[in-house]
Amino acid sequence: MGFTRDQLRSFVGAEVDDLVGPGLALLFVGINPGLWTAATRTHFSHPGNRFYPALRLAGIIERDIDRGSGMSDDDREHLVSLGIGITNIARRATAKASELTADELRSGGEELRALVRARRPAVVAVAGVTAYRVAFGDRTATTGERAERFEGARLWIVPNPSGLNAHETVDSLAEAYAAPARAAGVIEADGGWRP
């Protein structure tokens, strides 16, 4: 599946529904939907995004998900059945996360707090340290597990899987995502990705 530039531009400002279900254990949080995500209605959807390959390598999911053409209903059910959910800090789709305002990120952070209070996942994993710093006013935040709880949930800041994040590989992302998945009980304590 492919889109023209004009087709993608038509999704500026669109929103993508959260992927959450009963038994939510691990909530992954992106920055905001990209235009490809909005077009396919699939979080972390872009042919160059490494989120689903990293989940697969980490042992969090048992099958490949075609991030270029979007999830099937069966794919969504697969994630939900594993206790995995996906949302974003900001809801508005943009071509680049840098198009978001600080106010949008802070407001989205408050909405995220409300979602976590309502759905009560064991673990929240925010993918993107820069957006986390702005949304939650913590300029010194770094990746890894945070000492503080996030509305009762354990909190990790994990690397953003965008293909634009050249500092990360599928291997390094798998390692980063396996830690919160173990903590949430999504994979066995001794399971998942190992170097």
Greatest alpha-carbon pair distance for the chain in Å reads 47
Crossing angle, helix 129-136 and helix 102-119, to 10 degrees? Answer: 90
Query: What's the pLDDT score for residue 193?
Result: 53
- Amino acid at site 20: V
Query: What's the pLDDT score for residue 164?
Result: 74
R_g over Cα of the chain? 15
Query: What's the pLDDT score for residue 66?
Result: 85
The pTM (predicted TM-score) of the whole model is 0.94
Q: Cα separation of 6 and 103, whole Å?
A: 28
List of domains in the chain: 5-184 (3.40.470.10)
Q: Cα separation of 143 and 160, whole Å?
A: 10
Q: What is the DSSP letter of 60?
A: S
Of 122, 161, 149, nearest to 27 by C-alpha is 122
Over residues 105-159, the pLDDT tens digits come to: 999 999 999 999 999 999 999 999 999 999 999 999 999 999 999 999 999 999 9
- Sheet containing strand 84-88, edge to edge, reads 84-88, 26-30, 123-127, 154-158, 144-145
| Grouped pLDDT means (10 residues each) for the chain, 195 residues | 88 96 97 95 92 95 87 94 97 94 97 98 97 96 96 97 83 96 89 55
CA 72 to chain CA mean position, Å: 18
